[in-house]
């Protein structure tokens, strides 16, 4: 039972490693089931080339780096083993260029095939070449970058030197700024408190207005009902009637002020007044005579009696 368990564990480990190897190479674009040919190339400096780095042909993955080691005891050359797809015909004059596609990317081996020449056999040697960009980056570029960094540091030191001599002044300025910040915070708190009070007062005024509007609402309803009643009344017909009445009154007053008609004659001509005055005087005389001499007007006689003339009030 113990041996069977160990066999299962070992088989599981082998299968897992094989799956990881196949998956890793599949993600790198390599077909692990296709046969590969081994080739060698020497470089004076591989600049951090690692196992598993890509071998590129016109932008397509066609292999990977299998191994790296020194080729002599002087450690002057490094032998790099490449595994390349056997469908690629490697001829004499083919160059394996060590290049870096971008500043932050990994190194890769770029194949530059030759159209002429004999086919390189398996485990043959390919001419190696280092891209000039990497060489400049490692030598001239690195030195220039270091010099530039030194110059930048010197400039920064020159800029910061006045501040170093005035450290006390800067510290005082920082203290003043802190004091100002504290006062600003206090003012902000005061303003917040004032705004809160204003908000409370606005809320109070708003509530008062709402209460007042509640008392005004019935009055507005009464005005609304009055307006509806006024709209129900035919004001135009009534105004027309009033206009006709005023016109009739104006015509009546005009005729009254003129000499036409009885009332006009009565108001403008005094003859009627004089006649009425004389009539009233005669009536007064008649009543006076009737009072003092009733027998002249009311009498009883069997044989008749001679009528007397009425009394003259002036003589009386």
Q: What is the DSSP string of 213-233?
A: HHHHHHHHHHHHHHHHHHHHS
CA nearest to 92, candidates 59, 121, 71, 64: 121
> Using DSSP, how many helices (H) and how many strands (E) does the chain show?
7, 7
Structure tokens at 290: 């009737």
Report the chain's mean pLDDT, rounded to a whole number.
77
Express each pLDDT in 247-272 by its tens digit: 888 877 777 676 666 666 666 667 76
Contact of 64 with 53, CB cutoff 8 Å: yes
- pLDDT band at 28, cuts 50/70/90? low
Quickly tell me which residue has 């469908």 as its tokens: 87
Structure tokens at 4: 């069977």
Helix (H) or strand (E) holding 42: strand 36-43
Express each pLDDT in 272-308 by its tens digit: 677 778 888 888 888 888 788 877 766 555 555 555 5
Residue predicted with more confidence, 154 or 315: 154
* Cα distance between residue 122 and residue 42, in whole Å: 16
CA-based radius of gyration for the chain: 68
Task: Give the pairing type, strands 60-70 and 54-57.
Answer: antiparallel
* Cα distance between residue 19 and residue 307, in whole Å: 175
How high is the pLDDT of residue 143?
Answer: 53
Residue predicted with more confidence, 215 or 237: 237
Residue predicted with more confidence, 35 or 91: 91
How high is the pLDDT of residue 200?
Answer: 86
* Average pLDDT over every residue of 90-111: 84
- pLDDT band at 312, cuts 50/70/90? low
- Does the predicted model carry a pTM greater than 0.85? no
For residue 311, pLDDT beyond 60 = no
86-100 b/e (C-beta count within 10 Å ≥ 16 → b): eebebeeebebbbbb
Express each pLDDT in 78-100 by its tens digit: 999 999 988 888 899 999 998 88
- pLDDT band at 316, cuts 50/70/90? very low
Contact of 56 with 108, CB cutoff 8 Å: yes
How high is the pLDDT of residue 79?
Answer: 93
Residue predicted with more confidence, 162 or 84: 84
Taking the chain, what is the end-to-end CA distance rounded to the nearest angstrom?
A: 183
Crossing angle (nearest 10°) for helices 261-268 and 235-257: 50
How high is the pLDDT of residue 179?
Answer: 86
How high is the pLDDT of residue 71?
Answer: 86
For residue 135, pLDDT beyond 80 = no
Q: Quote the DSSP letter at residue 255.
A: H
Structure tokens at 175: 């203290």
For residue 139, pLDDT beyond 60 = no
* Average pLDDT over every residue of 86-115: 85
So where are the chain's domains? 34-130, 185-233
What percentage of the chain carries pLDDT values higher than 90?
A: 9
How high is the pLDDT of residue 39?
Answer: 93
């Amino acid at each position: 039972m113990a041996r069977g368990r160990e066999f299962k564990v070992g088989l599981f480990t082998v299968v897992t490693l094989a799956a990881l190897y196949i998956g890793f190479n599949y993600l790198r674009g390599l077909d692990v089931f296709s046969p590969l040919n081994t080739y060698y190339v020497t470089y004076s400096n591989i600049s951090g080339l690692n196992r598993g780095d890509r071998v590129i042909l016109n932008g397509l993955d066609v292999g990977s780096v299998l191994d790296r080691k020194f080729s002599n005891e002087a450690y002057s050359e490094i032998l790099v083993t490449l595994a390349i797809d056997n469908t690629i015909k490697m001829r004499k004059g083919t160059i394996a260029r060590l290049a870096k596609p971008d500043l932050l990317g990994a190194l890769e081996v770029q194949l530059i095939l030759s159209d002429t020449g004999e086919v390189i056999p398996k485990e043959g040697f390919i001419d190696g070449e280092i891209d000039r960009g990497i060489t400049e980056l490692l030598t001239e570029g690195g030195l220039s970058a270091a010099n530039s960094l030194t110059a930048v540091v010197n400039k920064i030191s020159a800029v910061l030197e006045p501040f170093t001599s005035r450290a006390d002044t800067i510290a005082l300025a920082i203290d003043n700024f802190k004091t100002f910040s504290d006062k600003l915070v206090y003012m902000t708190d005061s303003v917040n408190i004032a705004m809160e009070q204003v908000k409370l007062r606005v809320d109070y005024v708003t509530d008062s207005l709402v209460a007042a509007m509640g008392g005004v609402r019935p009055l507005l309803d009464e005005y609304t009902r009055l307006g509806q009643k006024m709209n129900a009344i035919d004001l135009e017909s009534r105004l027309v009637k009033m206009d006709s009445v005023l016109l009739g009154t104006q015509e009546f007053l005009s005729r009254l002020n003129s000499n036409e008609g009885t009332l006009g004659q009565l108001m403008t001509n005094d003859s009627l007044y004089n006649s009425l005055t004389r009539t009233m005087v005669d009536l007064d005389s008649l009543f006076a005579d009737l009072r003092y001499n009733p027998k002249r007007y009311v009498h009883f006689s069997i044989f008749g009696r001679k009528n007397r003339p009425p009394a003259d009030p002036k003589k009386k």
